Structure 1
Amino acid sequence: MPLLAIGINHKTAPVSMRERIAFAPDRLQQALRELVADGAAHEAAILSTCNRTEVYCGLAHGDHQDVLQWLSRYHAIPAAELSPFLYVHPEQDAVRHMLRVASGLDSMVLGEPQILGQVKDAYQTANAAGTLDTQLERLFQHTFAVAKQVRTDTSIGASPVSVAFAAVSLARQIFDRLDGRTALLLGAGETVELVARHLREQRIGRLVIANRTLERAHALAVEMQGYAIGLAEIDAHLAEADIVIAATASPEPLVLAEPVRQALKKRRHQPMLMVDIAVPRDIAPAVGELDDVYLYSVDDLQEIIRENLRSRQAAAEQAEEIIDTQVAHFMAWQRAQDAGHLIRALRRQAEAIRDELLAKGRTQLAQGRDPLQVLEQLAHQLTNKLLHAPSAGLREASAQGDADTVAMLSALYRLDETAPPRP
């Protein structure tokens, strides 16, 4: 099945489009089953994060247009509106893209480690949905091994650069010192956990962690020496927050303009920094229009991130060399699988010829024919039938002056033209 990677990311689409095509985590398995049932793909996995939504699949038939049309129908976005933001990577390019993504080479933050965990989540979701077959299963396992090799053999992950780190760096630029400040974190996933760790390293005064599941918020708050609340309590704690960093999977904004306006009054208009890392957005865009609020989306972190990339460029070049080699290894495996199908077909054909002639030989023996004569005739007929197709092909290629086919058959059958004919 032809491989395909199709999607959008932070390089090709603004956050307003990325949030429209994002998949809710609790809908992913069903979406995958619908994609395969639709007939556009034989096997599929979907990677959906704040910076990208990508479909990796083995095509059942046709080309990427079938997958594009399914995406269009699923998200109710006209294909003509979606197409300009999409990239399409077939076959070898799809393999290279997945390896680069998992190794952090295609991330907003070069070399960031969180993406590998997200790729693993995509694999586990597709596995649970039952939409993986041999080719994608092998590609994911190969990808995990290559990403580990990149981390081990290069220094691409040596410096603490990530979207979470960039958000905390922004807070330091605005407030200079973070001790004595209060940070309100929305969500309790991996990104928020990383934000919390960076904030603790910067000696943040107080941490408040809000999450839909209070138990998860409490577990993270205990570890980070913070305070846990439910999402319904966010508005009541906004006035305390100097810094709000949001990264939930909520389909609707959790922070609206009016509660922030009321919080600013209670704060006597002391400034608030709000960083929205979520896609779809957790903080309504109208909040950014309020005085004394500094609202940054994930796209706004680009400049901060660029400043932290220089040390990783040499490591990235080394990683690209590793990926070039590993793409070649995977494609060699894929070609071997294709050859395997041909080998099995060739063997089935030869066995059918053998069985046919063996049945005739047994009949002749049962009729009393001389066993030696039957054996010699069987060997003669078997040789003729097995060599008929390649001999005919060789004669035809020679007559047409097709030197490549002649050379291929000579190599395939390991023919030595210098050997003397048998007497």
Structure 2
Amino acid sequence: MALLTLGINHRTAPVEIRERVAFTPERMAEAFSELRAASGASEAAILSTCNRTELYLAGDDDCAPAVLRWLAGFHELDVADLEEVLYVHRDSEAVRHMMRVAAGLDSMVLGEPQIFGQLKDAYSLAREHGATGSFLSRLFEQTFSVAKRVRTQTAIGENPVSVAYASVSMAHHIFADMSRNKALLIGAGKTIELVSRHLADAGVRDFLVANRTLERAQALAELHGGKGIVLSEIPDHLADVDIIISSTASPLPILGKGAVERALKKRKHRPFFMVDIAVPRDIEPEVGSLADVYLYTVDDLRQVIEENIRSREGAAREAENLISSGVQEFLDQLRALDAVSTLKVFRQRAELLRDVESEKALRALRNGVDPETVLRSLARGLTNKLLHQPSVQVRKAMAEGRTEVTECLRELYQLDALEADEPTTTEKL
């Protein structure tokens, strides 16, 4: 079984490309159906976050070219443009990559914990669509086990600095005393929930949460004594807020340049601080060109995040060692399973030959042939049948110079030990 991972992430592609390659929840069913048909892969899973889009595939052949063409076509991109930012990992390197992703070693924020949950969600979604089988299921389970080992046995997750934390840290550069500022959070998922906690810790007391579903917005806002609204109400409240942080799964921008311009006039040009964590982006890029607007995307948070990386380099080295062990464990499991499968076929073949020779012997006995003759014929026939094909293949291998085959044969049947146990000519006499 061949394993393949194709993807783009924050290192290989800017947000302008990542947002075009992101998979929206509404198109996941369509994507799974088309991906497996186009690639010929027997199993597939899709991970799509603000920082990466990755496809995990298992099948009999290398389907990378077919998957690349499908991915470009699905997102209406030029194949050549996508190929420039795409990475491909195969077999053991694909296993290592998935484990590094799950442990947060491939994240913009080294050791960030959110990606572990996102990968688990990706696996669950693939299972719901019937896209995974025994191979990917085994890989995901081993990956989750190794990632948990990394979390518990290293300091990679201590004092976590997430994208949410980095967003709030940058807000301090604009507003010295954040207790005087009002925040608008767009979305109500895990990232925005984390943002709300960091803002509250930074002193923000006035919260407004906007979401497509009012109930979700209210539930999150109430945690900090704030108010929930629906997305369509954002323009009515925009002039009253100072900090805007957005992270939704919307395929189209939620906040446009016109609405921000009108709000700025009402604010008499008091500045806005905005962070758009979403991919695809929630805030039109043109908003960043307005005076008195400080607009950042996930790609702009690198400075805060790089400080975090430097503080975790020792833990990262320990984590890499654990992942190497995890990769080897998985490969050993596959080899063991392959051995079981091979032995099963080997035994079935031997049993078929046994049944054929046994039936021949029984017919001879029913016809009155001497039992001793039948027994000797059965033993001779079964031995010849069992040894014929291996003998042919050994001779062929030796003629081709593949001496390792005879070494394997000697090991399998312990022929060296048998030769050592045989009595010498003198002993026989």
TM over 0.5: yes
CA deviation after TM superposition for structure 1 residue 39, in Å: 4.4
In structure 1, runs of 5+ residues without a counterpart are none
Deviation sequence 1:228-272 (CA, Å, 0-9, x none):
110001111111111100100111111111111111111111111
CA distance in 1: counterparts of 2:353 and 2:120, whole angstroms: 48
Query: Distance between the aligned counterparts of 2:20 and 2:358, measured in 1?
Result: 65
Q: Assess, with a 3 A threshold, how the Cα gap between structure 1 residues 285 and 400 changes in structure 2: closer, same or farther.
A: closer
SS of the residue corresponding to residue 414 of structure 2 reads: coil
Q: Deviations over 1:14-53 (max 9, x none)?
A: 1111111100022213311221233431110000001000
* Deviation larger for 68-77 or 319-328: 68-77
Q: Distance in 2 between matches of 1:164 and 1:210?
A: 17
Alpha-carbon separation, structure 2, partners of 1:410 and 1:200: 71
Quick check: 1:169 aligned with 2:189? no
**In structure 2, C-alpha distance between the alignment counterparts of 1:361 and 1:101, rounded to whole Å:** 61
Letter in 2 for 1:116: F
CA distance in 1, matches of 2:76, 2:285: 23
2:392 is aligned to 392
Specify the alignment match of 1:363 in structure 2. Answer: 363
1:339-354 equivalences under 5 Å are: 339-354=339-354
Secondary structure in 2 matching 1:175: coil
Q: Which residue of 1 aligns with 2:216?
A: 216
Number of the residue aligned with 1:11 = 11
C-alpha distance in structure 2 between counterparts of 1:330 and 1:151, whole Å: 19
Tell me the CA shift for residue 418 of structure 1: 2.3
Does structure 1 residue 116 correspond to structure 2 residue 101? no
The residue that corresponds to 1:335 in the other structure is 335
1:148 corresponds in structure 2 to 148
Equivalent-residue separation in structure 1 for 2:293 and 2:258 (angstroms): 13
**Are 1:29 and 1:126, in contact at CA under 8 Å, matched by a contact in 2?**
no
2-side partners of 1:349 and 1:370: how far apart? 29
Deviation at 1:316, TM superposition (A): 0.6
TM-score (norm 1): 0.97
Alpha-carbon distance between aligned partners in 2 of 1:178 and 1:289, rounded to the nearest angstrom:
24
Deviation at 1:77, TM superposition (A): 1.3
- Asked whether the equivalents of residues 273 and 295 of structure 1 are also in contact (C-alpha less than 8 Å), the reply is yes
Q: Deviations over 1:80-126 (max 9, x none)?
A: 12101100000001100000000000000000000001000100100
**Distance in 1 separating the partners of 2:180 and 2:298:** 26
Q: Which amino acid in 2 is paired with 1:338? A: D
Q: Which residue of 1 aligns with 2:319?
A: 319
The residue that corresponds to 1:420 in the other structure is: 422
- Report matched runs for 1:220-369 at 5 Å: 220-369=220-369
Is this contact kept in 2: 1:30–1:129, CA < 8 A?
Answer: no
**Would you say the 8 A contact 2:2–2:62 is kept in 1?**
no
Determine the structure 2 residue equivalent to 1:2. 2
Q: Which residue of 1 aligns with 2:28?
A: 28
Q: In structure 2, what is the equivalent of residue 66 of structure 1?
A: 66
SS at match of 2:223: helix
SS in 2 for 1:209: strand
CA drift at 1:289: 0.6
Residue by residue over 1:325-357, the C-alpha shift from the partner in whole angstroms, topping out at 9 and shown as x without a partner, is 110111111222333332222122112211111
Distance across 2 between alignment mates of 1:403 and 1:55: 41
- Distance in structure 2 (CA, Å) of the matches to 1:336 and 1:373: 42
Amino acid at match of 1:209: V
**How many percent of aligned residue pairs carry the same amino acid?**
53
Partner of 1:82: 82
Q: Contact (CA 8 Å) 2:163, 2:301: kept in 1 or not?
A: yes
Q: Tell me how far apart the structure 2 counterparts of residues 63 and 404 of structure 1 sit (CA, whole Å).
A: 32
User: 1:316 & 1:71 partners in 2: Cα distance?
Assistant: 32
Q: How many equivalent residue pairs?
A: 423
Amino acid in the other structure paired with 1:119: L
> Does the 8 Å contact 1:40/1:67 carry over to 2?
no
- Cα distance in 1 for partners of 2:153, 2:47 equals 26
Write the letter of the residue equivalent to 1:145: S
Between stretches 35-44 and 104-113, larger displacement belongs to 35-44
Q: 1:60 to 1:234 in 2, by over 3 A?
A: farther
Residue of structure 1 in register with 2:95 after alignment: 95
Gaps of 5+ in 2: none
Contact 1:39 1:60 (C-alpha < 8 Å) held by counterparts: no
Letter in 2 for 1:407: E
Find the aligned partners of 1:24 and 1:222 in 2 and give their Cα distance: 28
Q: Considering only aligned residues, what root-mean-square deviation do their CA atoms show, in Å?
A: 1.6
Name the SS for the 2:420 alignment partner: coil
Q: Is the 8 A contact 2:39 2:63 kept in 1?
A: no
Distance in structure 2 (CA, Å) of the matches to 1:390 and 1:83: 47
Q: Is the 8 A contact 1:22 1:53 kept in 2?
A: yes
Structure 1 pair 39/63, CA: closer, same or farther in 2 (3 Å)?
closer
Which residue pairs with 1:57 in the alignment?
A: 57
